[in-house]
Amino acid sequence: MEIYRWEGKGFRQLTPLRFGEERDFEDLLERDAALLLENEQICVISRQTPVGKSQKIDLLALDQDGNCVVVELKRGKPSRTTIAQILEYAAAVAQFSFAELERLAQRWFRGQGREFTSLLALHSEFFGYELGGMRKSAFNRRQRLVLVSEGVDARVLGIAEYLRRIGMDLTYISYFSYQAPDEILIATKTMLGTSIIAESRQSYRYATRQLMTREGFLATLTPNEELLEVARKFFDYMDACGAIIRPRVGLVRMTIGGKWWLGAYPSKRATHFRVSMHGDFTLRHIATCRTHLPDVTPKKFGISFNIASQAHLEYAIEIFERTRNAILED
């Protein structure tokens, strides 16, 4: 695959890039795994996960239904033994209990200095649903396999196609990387998997979540007229501040001055909407917030809380102003 870049007067072919080691590309996928499954987000919960005596899974993730996604990355074309390897990983992951998955996620997140409270909280926040929307028993009911390689091996593709036919949830992705003057470009091609997964997704317990827009946010709160009016005032305040509202999977995110400021999603039962706010909060600040707002939770980035009334919004705007000004002054 050849990639060209327009440079004012003509096209220039970009030079193919070989990552020095598998972990270099792994670093990028750890930060953003969006290119692995077309139109579907997955939440990475562990990297280099040990299974057996000497083997390690490159990336272990969860999809929105709580299924484990085992990602095996190969620099260069894979060999036939790669298929045996990823199947062995799947068999090992199938034995993981919810508690084991939570321990893996906790070890990985805290090892990076990142906040971790629970796997349920991580999953609900990542996929944008209300905490309590999934039970522990829903996790790891199925295992999904993703093989990513530089180029395609015809023999491996043939084996992968056979495994798909007998019901194995296996996606095979070929990637090519290119070096531009100021960026790295990745081109991917799904050799098999996504169309079959898309057809069978209807049978999953939880439907695919779409990007949450302002209109979708308000529509969710329609059954509660009082809260709907509060939500409208919330967005009016955002507009007055000059915030940019960006749709995300299951939530909306507000930026100010090009920096993340707030994230919010509505309760499915239209009882409140949840707000996560970037900022520095002392223990005294948090204690004060808890006297005025429901379900205040400290986060590494700031705090999260519910807004269920006009009084909650009025108090929240006071702290919105403080954090907004701090961001704009940076």
HEC-encoded secondary structure of the chain? CCCEEECCCCEEECEECCCCCHHHHHHHHHHCCCCCCCCCCCEEEEEEEEECCCEEEEEEEECCCCCEEEEEEECCCCCHHHHHHHHHHHHHHCCCCHHHHHHHHHHHHHHCCCCCCCHHHHHHHHHCCCCCCCCHHHCCCCEEEEEEEECCCHHHHHHHHHHHHCCCCEEEEEEEEEEECCEEEEEEEEEECHHHHHHHHHHCCCCCCCEECHHHHHHHCCCCHHHHHHHHHHHHHHHHHCCEEEEEECEEEEEECCEEEEEEEECCCCCCEEEEEECCCCHHHHHHHHHHCCCCEECCCEEEEEECCHHHHHHHHHHHHHHHHHHHHC
Same-domain check for residues 49 and 185: yes
pTM: 0.53
190 and 296 co-located in one domain = no
Task: List the structure tokens of 104.
Answer: 């893996």
Residue where a domain terminates, one of 203, 228, 259:
203
116 and 261 in a single domain? The answer is no
Give yes or no: residues 147 and 54 share one domain: yes
Co-location of 174 and 190 in the same domain: yes
* CATH (domain of 133): 3.40.1350.10
Q: How far is CA 129 from the centre of its chain?
A: 13
Q: How far apart are CA 41 and CA 29, in angstroms?
A: 12
Residues 100 and 149 in one domain: yes
Among 159, 186, 203, give the residue marking a domain's end.
Answer: 203
Convert the pLDDT of each residue in 40-68 to its tens digit. Answer: 788 889 988 888 777 889 889 999 899 99
Regarding whether 23 and 150 lie in a shared domain, the answer is yes
Among 203, 231, 262, the domain boundary falls at 203
Q: What pLDDT score does 15 carry? A: 57
Domain that holds residue 280: 211-329
| The two three-digit tokens of residue 328, written as one number | 């704009």
Residue pair 245/214 in contact (Cβ under 8 Å)? The answer is: yes
What's residue 22's pLDDT?
41
Structurally, the chain folds into a number of domains equal to: 2
* 189 and 215 inside one domain: no
User: What type of residue sits at position 244?
Assistant: I
Answer for the pair 147, 74: CB distance below 8 angstroms, yes or no. Answer: yes
For residue 205, what pLDDT is reported? 35
Same domain, 297 and 250: yes
Same domain, 144 and 106: yes
Nearest CA among 91, 121, 37, 300 for reference residue 29: 37
The pLDDT of residue 129: 81
* pLDDT for position 249: 78
pLDDT at 60 (0 to 100): 93
Q: How far out from the chain centre does Cα 12 lie?
A: 34
- pLDDT at residue number 85: 87
- Report how far residue 255's alpha carbon sits from residue 99's, in angstroms, rounded to the nearest whole number: 35
**What are the residue ranges in the chain where pLDDT is below 50?**
19-23, 194-209
Residues 248 and 143 both lie in one domain = no
**Whether residue 150 is found in the same domain as residue 254:** no
